[in-house]
Amino acid sequence: MIAKMFYGACAIAMVTATAVIAQPSGNSGATSNDSNTQVCRAVADTGSRLGRSRECHTAQEWAELRRQTQQNIDRIQNSRAASGQ
């Protein structure tokens, strides 16, 4: 049961990380200093070589997603180290 929850959490973290790592798709001329600038990225669907979706967020929202992803990764790694596995 715990292993299934762990793998589920890892899957969620990987999906979120994929969204953060995805390359910007076109707004290369926009200034990155403006936190209200809309940035769209193509995000690969996990488990599919061909599936992609497009996500648009402001620069500030992308930064928040990146921060949350890093927190999830740290939490998963620390909980695994604490359990001794």
Structural domain count, the chain: 1
pTM score over 0.85 = no
Q: Are 59 and 39 within 8 A, CB to CB?
A: yes
Q: Which residues pair with 52 in a beta bridge?
A: 44
Per the domain annotation, does 81 fall within a domain?
no
Looking at residue 3, what is its pLDDT?
60
Alpha-carbon distance of 73 to 69, in angstroms, equals 6
Per the domain annotation, does 43 fall within a domain?
yes
Alpha-carbon distance of 8 to 5, in angstroms, equals 5
| Residue recorded with tokens 């193509």 | 42
- The tens place of each residue's pLDDT in the chain, 85 residues long, gives 666 655 566 566 666 655 555 555 555 555 556 778 899 999 888 888 888 999 999 999 999 999 999 999 999 999 877 776 5
User: Which runs of E-coded beta strand occur in the chain?
Assistant: 38-44, 52-58
Q: Are 11 and 46 within 8 A, CB to CB?
A: yes
Per the domain annotation, does 73 fall within a domain?
no
Looking at residue 85, what is its pLDDT?
58
Per the domain annotation, does 60 fall within a domain?
yes
